[in-house]
A and B are shown apart, each in its own frame.
Chain A
Amino acid sequence: MRLWLIPILPLLGAAINGLFGRRFSRQLVALVALGFCGAAFAWALWAAAKLSGGSYSETIAPWIRAGAFQVNFSFYLDHLSLVMLLVVTGVGFLIHVYSVGYMWEEGGFYRFFCYLNLFMFFMLTLVLGGNYLLMFIGWEGVGLASYLLIGFWFTRDSAASAGKKAFIVNRVGDFGFLIALFLMIRHFGSLNFDQVFGMASRMNPETAGAGLLTTIGLLLMVGACGKSAQIPLYVWLPDAMEGPTPVSALIHAATMVTAGVYMVARSHAIFERAPMALTVVAVIGTLTALFAATIGVCQTDIKKVLAYSTISQLGYMFLACGVAAFSAGIFHLMTHAFFKGLLFLAAGSVIHSIGGEQDMRKMGGLRKKIPVTFWTMTAATFAIAGFPPFAGFFSKDEILWRAYQVSWAYWLIGVFTAFLTAFYMFRLWFLTFFGEYRGEEPRAHGEHGHGGIHESPRVMLVPLVILAGLSIAGGWVGIPGSLGGGNQFERFVGPVFHAAIPAGGGEHGRETARQEREAEGSEPETNAGTELMFTGISVSAALLGLLLSWWLYCKRTELPGRIARAVDGFYEAVLHKYYVDELYAILFVKPLIDGSSKILWQGIDRGVIDATLDNSADGAREVSDTIRHMQSGNLRSYAGWVAAGAAGVIVYMIWIGVR
């Protein structure tokens, strides 16, 4: 099946564009980039068609062989990675097409597509890797690509700093990931998925406190927090909006930030046997979802609202994984890729049409002027709010239902967050498209000789329409049984999470198989009626959010200002993102910089290393300065030294002789 071609094709595109793109015309650069990305998508489809028997793995070449420890370049495809693969290549290709239009007038065109293809290569390595080490390479690589793309307009200080911040915060998470890998090597002797999960599933669940699996799980979660922007390592994602909007769509909505969810889902064998780690995952996910939603309510930059929305939705996915509903989490990952990608691309279209303005307070009344963007964004907004029959409804509802079965607290916070999500998304919708236009006339740019608000070119609109279709229909593969569907998604991906037991496990194997099925929980065995009631509750929460935002931002538009002034202190705190960035600056950044400059630079580098060299040179000079007085030109002093030397030699000889 030649799985290795799927990552390599975008790498070739990146190499060609990177090495020769400067001399290409824009059309050629776009052709190369789109061609290789599209080829990867096509090959992925073909691999999907050819996949039989649930999983497929191929080993290309050995890589590390150190005694009993061996790691190969091996790729692995099962239904889980197939879903991720199709999402990454499909949505990625659409965003490539969109970027051609969006970045057409920007400088560095070839560089952008080189980085974009490079990102695809690393992401596909991450998804298709057959062992943790290849996944880690992809993991690090997407971090690198993210840094390059966030800081694409590197001449802007804020963009360069945002890129650095993203990379460094990611690294903190990667540290946890690395330690987990080391623990795996130490205790399992291997990093290959089949061996690690085989050995893990033979171990007993750790119900009494922390053991090896809990530690590995928690460390993996640290890595996922960094990559997928959960508490406490989420601070890089809002700053990452400094990058071009297609970058935000691809990396910080659809694919890279979901790598953490994918990794946790892939490691389900470890997590299922470490209940404490699962609880931590769920708690972090829930808290992050709520926290980010509250911040998103007050933001005025359209992309920042979407960024906090991403963090919040990722929290939902981690909540799903934390209650062992892995397939629900992956389902939400897929639908989220559709509607969040669409939201970002449409936001980019809005920004493009009004000439670069991103502040929502300066928008308004755009729905007549950019109709295609308006209708596609409407579809995405309804999808993320969780209205049936759009995509987000089915996935979010599944998560909330499964969360309730573990604890009502998860469910309650989840529903409240759904209300907040609907509220701020419709707030965005109303502020942008309704009311009067509050901004200035956009400047003329590019080939558009006239100023004025205009729709985006077709190359940008076609991906919007396609993604809108997916946002509407994408959830229909996961309609749960209680609503009359067959839940094909669960049936497609679910077996991955059951099949961790090696064949012939015997009595113990069957026992854990049954427990796993219960923990993972295929179709719930409880009342379909209860499930319908909860569905109704979540839909009403979304409706409530819609009505509240309509009232505040359409009808009585002076009210938000009055409310903000009434809760002034609290409002300021939320507006400034609860001052978390400032807190981190005081706690971590400032001590690090101070320690580095005062201790490492001035203390050690200048004080010890340089000083040693300088002082040894000075010392040599002083010694020679002193000794030079021996050369006085005076005969008698020479004679004196000779006599003293001779005496010394005589003493030595006599001493030798006497002994």
Chain B
Amino acid sequence: MLHLILFLAFGAVCVAGAVNLLVQRHPINSALSLVVVMGSLAVEYLLLGAEFVAAVQIIVYAGAIMVLFVFVIMLLNAGEEEYSNKSRVAHVVGIPGVLIGCVLIGWVLVERSHTEAVAVGALPGAPKDIGWLLFHDYLLPFEVTSILVLIAIMGAVVLAGRPEPVQQSKKES
């Protein structure tokens, strides 16, 4: 019972945050709504017994990625969105597509999927167990992912770094 109440409460917070992200015009407001979404998602993970994932969600997602977002917004001094409506396609084709997709998925889920309940903490995700899996069964993806992160860091540094001054002296000579 409590499980259900907690789920519904934090689910509502999630959805409210997501909708607020769409509604807000200033990006900083959208970023803060996203943080709210991530927080409530972490609670949902806890309800499912995924402790490690919940912790990582808070630390990495809400704590690092969103902070990065906020820094960039601040750096670029992004203001409120201007109004421009240059893409009819997105509205005419895209949104109905999304609606169709969602309705269908919802229908399928409600009609046909299992209605078995998932207990609170049904599958405990202790860090020890996850670590075991990571370093035994999924070692290769783990290592490759670390290389991916390395590449991403280098790319970000190159892309966002200050552009080199144009070497005019070389061109003139």
Contacts and interface: CB of A to CB of B under 8 A. Distances in A.
Touching chains A and B, CB distance < 8 Å: yes
Interface of A: 632, 634, 636-637, 639-648, 650-651, 654, 657
B109 to A, nearest CB: 11
Nearest to B99: A647
B89 A647 contact: no
Contact of B98 (A632, A641, A643, A654): A643
B90 A639 contact: yes
19 contacts: A632-B87, A634-B87, A636-B87, A637-B89, A639-B90, A640-B91, A640-B93, A640-B94, A640-B95, A640-B97, A641-B89, A644-B93, A644-B94, A644-B97, A646-B97, A647-B97, A650-B101, A650-B104, A650-B105
Contact of A651 (B88, B90, B94, B100): B100
B89 A636 contact: yes
Nearest to A634: B87
B104 A637 contact: no
Contact of B94 (A643, A650, A654, A657): A643
Nearest to A637: B89
Contacts of B88: 637
Contacts of B94: 636, 639-644
A4 B133 CA distance: 98
Interface in B73-108: 86-98, 100-101, 104-105, 108
Contacts of B105: 650
Contacts of A636: 86-87, 89-90, 94
Contacts of A643: 93-95, 97-98, 101
A639 B98 CA distance: 11
Contacts of B87: 632, 634, 636-637, 640
Interface in B109-150: none
Given A637-B89, A640-B92, 18 more contacts: A634-B86, A634-B89, A636-B86, A636-B94, A637-B87, A639-B90, A639-B94, A640-B90, A640-B94, A640-B95, A642-B94, A643-B93, A643-B98, A646-B97, A647-B101, A650-B100, A651-B101, A657-B108
A643 B94 CA distance: 5
B89 A654 contact: no
Interface of A is mostly: helix
Contacts of A640: 87, 89-95, 97
Contacts of B97: 640, 643-648
Interface string B149-164: 0000000000000000
Q: How large is the interface on B (under 10, 10 to 19, 20 to 34, 35 or more residues)?
A: 10 to 19
Nearest to B94: A640
Contacts of A634: 86-87, 89
Contacts of B91: 640
- The listed residue with most B CB atoms (<10 A of its CB), out of A632, A639, A643, A646, is A643
Contacts of B92: 640
Nearest to A655: B104
Q: Report the 6 A-B pairs with minimum CB-CB distance, sorted nearest first.
A: A640-B94, A640-B90, A637-B89, A647-B97, A644-B97, A636-B90
Contact of B90 (A637, A647, A654): A637
A569 B90 CA distance: 89
Given A640-B91, A641-B93, A647 B86 contact: no
Contacts of B93: 640-641, 643-644
B83 to A, nearest CB: 14
Most chain A CB neighbours (cut-off 10 Å) among B89, B98, B108: B89
A642 B77 CA distance: 30
A169 B91 CA distance: 74
A629 to B, nearest CB: 9
Count chain A CB atoms within 10 A of each CB in B91, B92, B94, B108 and give the residue with the most.
B94
A178 to B, nearest CB: 66
A636 B89 CA distance: 8
A636 B100 CA distance: 19
A129 B86 CA distance: 86
B114 to A, nearest CB: 15
Nearest to A644: B97
Given A636-B89, A640-B91, A647 B98 contact: yes
Contacts of A641: 89, 93-94
Nearest to B98: A643
Contacts of B108: 654, 657
Contacts of B100: 647, 650-651
Residue of A637, A641, A654, A657 with most partner-chain B CB within 10 A: A637
Contacts of A651: 100-101, 104
A632 B97 CA distance: 20
A636 B90 CA distance: 6
Given A640-B93, A646-B97, A647-B98, A654 B104 contact: yes
Interface in B41-68: none
Contacts of A639: 90, 94
A221 B2 CA distance: 112
A654 B95 CA distance: 19
A659 B96 CA distance: 24
A642 B90 CA distance: 10
A632 B87 CA distance: 9
A566 B88 CA distance: 94
Given A639-B94, A640-B93, A640-B94, A646 B101 contact: yes
A646 B92 CA distance: 15
A157 B98 CA distance: 78
A371 B98 CA distance: 112
Contacts of A644: 93-94, 96-97
Contacts of A645: 97
Contacts of B90: 636-637, 639-640
